[in-house]
Homo-oligomer: A and B are copies of this chain.
Amino acid sequence: MVKNKRNQILEAASRSFSLFGYKGTTIDQVAKMADVGKGTVYTAFENKEDLFHAVLQRVIDELKAVFAEAIKEDQDGFENITSALDELHTFKEKHQLVAKLADEVRVLGSESANKALQQVEYAMIDLVKQLLIKAERNGKIHCPNPQATAFLLYKSYLSLVTEFEENYAPLEKEELIDIFKLHFMHGIAKDEA
């Protein structure tokens, strides 16, 4: 069962990278967590970086799929940020992993891993951008720099579901959506000068 072992390893690596980061993950760890021999890791993957790459790719693919779904369903263009975030939120853990790996990659950054990771981010941010553009065309929002807005939305979401939860307070999904509505949709200024 080639695929089976490979998946065990991928799963274990995913968990380990997420918990301990790239340098903090040893092949021994992964092998043990996957319940396979150390050598087996090297029959399934070229080397540590290749394994990292594969973990990344899997997350990327899953997230892309979610977004492909999301964009199909959203016909009105960002009208209901609520449901979009709702959808997004079902993959909170995946995003948390992405955030962790992004840290890693920024820090240790083998070029290739970096590229792979940026691919996800680009894809997701670009998707948000498309939604924003559509929404503006529909006259729903005012958004002169959709690139920056999309970037901010995505990054803010990540920050909230990773660090904020960790260091300040856990957030219910409703609170999370409220925060987004407040800040991005409406703004905090009381009387708009």
B-binding residues in A (CB < 8 A): 20-24, 100, 103-104, 106-108, 118, 121, 132, 139-145, 147-149, 151-152, 155-156, 159-160, 163-164, 167-169, 175, 179, 182-190, 192
Contact = CB atoms under 8 A, between A and B. Distances in A.
A24 B107 contact: yes
A142 B23 contact: no
Contacts of A21: 107-108
Output the residue of A20, A22, A140, A192 with the most chain B CB within 10 A.
A192
A160 B152 contact: yes
Assembly of this chain: how many copies? Answer: 4
A170 to B, nearest CB: 12
Top 8 A-B residue pairs of the complex, sorted by shortest distance between their CB atoms? A187-B187, A21-B107, A186-B187, A103-B103, A185-B189, A155-B159, A192-B192, A141-B188
12 contacts: A21-B108, A24-B108, A121-B167, A144-B182, A148-B164, A149-B182, A151-B163, A152-B159, A152-B179, A182-B187, A186-B187, A186-B192
A187 to B, nearest CB: 3
